[in-house]
Amino acid sequence: MILTIRTTPWIVGGRTSSNALCRLFCLPHSGSGAFQFASWKNSLPLALDICPIQLPGRENRLREPPFTRIQTIVENLASELSGYLDRPYILYGYSFGALIAFELARELRRRKIPPPLSLYVLARRAPHLPQRDAPMHHLRDDLFLAEVARRYGELPAIIWQDVELMKLVVPILRADMTALETYVYEEQDPLDCPICAFGGKFDSTAEERDLEAWRLQTTRAFELKIVDGDHFFIRNNQRSVFSSILAKLSRVPQLALVGR
């Protein structure tokens, strides 16, 4: 029998049960929400819980003001996840989400919680590297969106063409960019967990040398995978990420069933 654990607005659209052998916490890229991970439960085994993280201000949490500081997000998230950390877990973050996942791992360490089995950081340069681009979160809407498009690629046409949708998207994007651009890296001991970094061959925001620098953030194994694609390479490389996660789980004796 599968027993459902308590619910939280911070985890939406995944699959959680008290019978899981391991939990995968998924943090989205800037301007987006948990919905992008909704289909993952159809591709990954039942023994692995899929826990998409829903930050305030998006999708079903649209009425809540979005946070504009990484540390505020991390402290609130760490408290919300306290009831979900009773078994092995993996942290996965994409771009903006990668930085949150990293700081979440450090916050959980401060709270004396065992480290994740692995930290997945995708499309994000190492946190200790200085920012290359000038801040843009303060720009007026048209200039702000033009800069977002220049760095990360055009927003989908459906968003550009819908005035009401733009009114919803811009504040979330601006809040996330504010959080990124006001982030101050604090020197601490490296994490005691493996780190796996993924990057797109044509992503100018996180080049291979930027991803390689994540190696300094762990005392354990480090793995770097460069795949075809731009900043949103995950669209065509999801299977590679799934294979990597399952391969790592298969190396842990008590979790070998997860990959079957």
- Catalytic residue ranges: 95
- In this structure, which amino acid lies at residue 92? Y
Cα–Cα distances in angstroms (integers) from residue 209 to residues 20, 129, 175, 198, in the given order: 36, 11, 28, 12
Contact 37, 11 (CB under 8 A): no
**Chain-centre distance of CA 76, in angstroms?**
15
CA angle 96-97-101, nearest 5°? 125
Going by the DSSP 8-state scheme, the letter that residue 17 receives in this structure is -
DSSP string for residues in 182-235: T------PPBSS-EEEEEETT-TTS-HHHHHGGGGGBSS-EEEEEESSSTTTHH
Q: What dihedral do alpha carbons 141, 229, 239, 102 form, nearest 10°? A: -60
DSSP H or E stretch at residue 94:
strand 89-94
Q: What dihedral do alpha carbons 189, 120, 104, 148 form, nearest 10°? A: 110
Q: Cα(first)–Cα(last) distance of the chain, in Å?
A: 19
What are φ and ψ of residue 258, in 5° steps? -60, -40
| 100/32 Cα distance (integer angstroms) | 14
